[in-house]
Chains A and B, each alone.
Chain A
Amino acid sequence: MTQRAAPELLLGILPIALILALWQALTSFDMAPPALLPPPMAVFRRLVEQLGNPIFLQHTFTTLLRLFAGFAIACLVGVTLGLMASSSRVAESAIRPIVRVLAPVPKIALYPAFILILGFDHASKIALVAADALFPILLATYQGAVSVEPKLVWSALAAGTTRRKALLTVVLRAALPSVLTGCRIGLVISCIVVFLAEMISSTDGLGHLLVYASRSFETVDMYVPLITISLLGLSLNAGFNALRRRLLAGYPEAE
């Protein structure tokens, strides 16, 4: 993934432009009542306005905080468990069944329990984000770690590296392309889930703003958080890709 060629970039923008054009057409030809679907320009004008509004920024910050906290926990736990499972029979036998049982559970079903246990504030939402983002990261780490060429580890052991150290400096490093792919999926899931959690029960955050606006038929305000989270996701992904390119400088997979 080096510099994208300009035509490819254009090709990527085209569908988005088409959707915006369709949206514009729907509103300007009165095919949708403006009270339900405001024109795109109105939404974007409001977005720009809101970006200067400290209260709106506070909500955005709250969402980002939960997103990052949940995602960070998921990365830490997922990578640790994945590595452990890949490196020891005992750990694998302990981790595999619980992953099999928990991975297919819709985590949102655990949300009421999280609220009861952790309360209404940040903790329950962070827990939900972490629970949802955890499994793709864990599975990708495990998969990546077990397929690391053993001779890489052997080369390190022969040079005097201890097994434990080699797990971090060689196995994890060599499995990085796979680990980062898992993290990227985890990041997208985190964006979705944090918003969802805030929509279901919250008094702050972007998800709450959307629900609040829809309840009071403020349709313009309803679309602003939606576009904000989408733009956030876009920039987080771009940041993540930049990091990935740096970390994977020597890997054949990173092309």
Chain B
Amino acid sequence: MIAIERISKTFETRRGASHLALGEISLDVADGEFVSILGPSGCGKSTLLYIVGGFVPPSTGVVALDGKPVTGPGPDRGPVFQEFALFPWKTVLGNVMYGLLERGTPKVEAEAKARALIGLVHLEGYEGFYPKELSGGMKQRVAIARTLAYGPSILLMDEPFGALDAHTRTGMQNELLEIWERDRKTVLFVTHSVEEAVFLSDRVVVLTRSPGRIKETIRIDLPRPRRRKELLVDNRYQRLVVEIEALMDTPAQRR
């Protein structure tokens, strides 16, 4: 379980002033739960994920995993960054194999696993390409495969489908749901798309304008497994989307 307890983040700016990037956030995420985070740009969604990942320490509060406070990054939490952050000197295959080799997986086995994951994100034939030779959407899929490779039980995904075209995006959503339904990973998923959040999640957390605090948590009790074409015509789905969109649009936020 991820227990996020009253964390906030203040950045010191150059001129010695301090800037509150993330208001006080408390959130519990159960094992195997899929939680999406929605909120206006700059409200601190990425910062929240960095803190849970252990990359950035919170200014106040603690994050605990199964009762143990987070002190740094670890392979139990797999991040997929908004900016992909692929290793430019490694090919697609090299990037995906990285985590496996770091764990001491024998090379032959690591390569076989990596190739399977590259297939999963539909990049067969691009194994030998360098990241600079890929489109934004392809890079994002490599980043997802690289993280899935070392089998983290928690996925921290920062707008992982943001750079994808609508078609690939729905494909990847289905793919992610399939993986999730199979392995029951815990997922913290940042997105700007309300439909995506509702389609994927057990719970949607809406943050306020910067500095982000939790404005509302909405439980999405649509039946699983979810099929896109069934959901799109489902009244409950439509109502949830409308409700959350309204939440994100309230004047209180435009202040």
Contact = CB atoms under 8 A, between A and B. Distances in A.
Interface of A: 149-152, 154-161, 170, 173-174, 176, 247-252
B102 A154 contact: no
Interface in B70-123: 72-75, 77-79, 81, 83, 85-91, 98-99, 102-103
B73 A158 contact: yes
Contact of B103 (A160, A170, A248): A160
A223 B58 CA distance: 66
Nearest to B72: A157
A176 B74 contact: no
Contact of B88 (A156, A157, A250): A250
Nearest to A159: B99
Majority-rule SS of A interface residues: helix
A20 B81 CA distance: 57
B130 A250 contact: yes
Interface residues of B, number: 30
A174 B131 CA distance: 13
B85 A152 contact: yes
A154 B55 CA distance: 7
B102 A160 contact: yes
B5 to A, nearest CB: 22
A59 to B, nearest CB: 40
B150 interface: yes
B85 A160 contact: no
Contacts of A157: 55, 72-73
B212 interface: no
A103 to B, nearest CB: 25
B116 to A, nearest CB: 18
A154 to B, nearest CB: 5
Contact of A154 (B75, B81, B150): B81
B2 to A, nearest CB: 15
Interface of B: 50, 53, 55, 72-75, 77-79, 81, 83, 85-91, 98-99, 102-103, 130-132, 146-147, 150, 152
Nearest to B53: A158
A170 B87 contact: yes
A251 B132 contact: yes
B81 A151 contact: yes
Contacts of A248: 89
Contacts of B55: 150, 154, 157-158
A151 B83 contact: yes
Given A151-B85, A154-B79, A249 B73 contact: no
A170 B77 CA distance: 19
A176 B77 contact: no
A26 B13 CA distance: 64
A173 B89 contact: yes
B81 A251 contact: no
Query: Quick one: which of B74, B77, B78, B85 has the most chain A CB within 10 A?
Result: B85
Contact of A158 (B77, B88, B91): B77
5 contacts: A155-B81, A158-B55, A159-B75, A251-B89, A251-B132
B87 A152 contact: yes
A120 B208 CA distance: 73
Query: Quick one: which of B53, B73, B131, B147 has the most chain A CB within 10 A?
Result: B73
Given A250-B89, A250-B91, A159 B81 contact: no
Which 8 pairs of residues, A with B, have the shortest CB-CB distance? A250-B130, A159-B99, A151-B85, A157-B73, A160-B75, A154-B55, A158-B73, A160-B102
A170 B81 CA distance: 17
A157 B147 CA distance: 12
A160 B150 contact: yes
Nearest to B104: A160
Contacts of A173: 87, 89
Given A160-B99, A252-B132, 5 more contacts: A155-B81, A158-B53, A159-B99, A161-B102, A249-B130
Contacts of A158: 53, 55, 73-75, 77-79, 147, 152
Contacts of A154: 50, 53, 55, 73, 79, 81, 85
B88 A174 contact: yes
A155 B85 contact: yes
Query: Quick one: which of A155, A156, A157, A160 has the most chain B CB within 10 A?
Result: A155
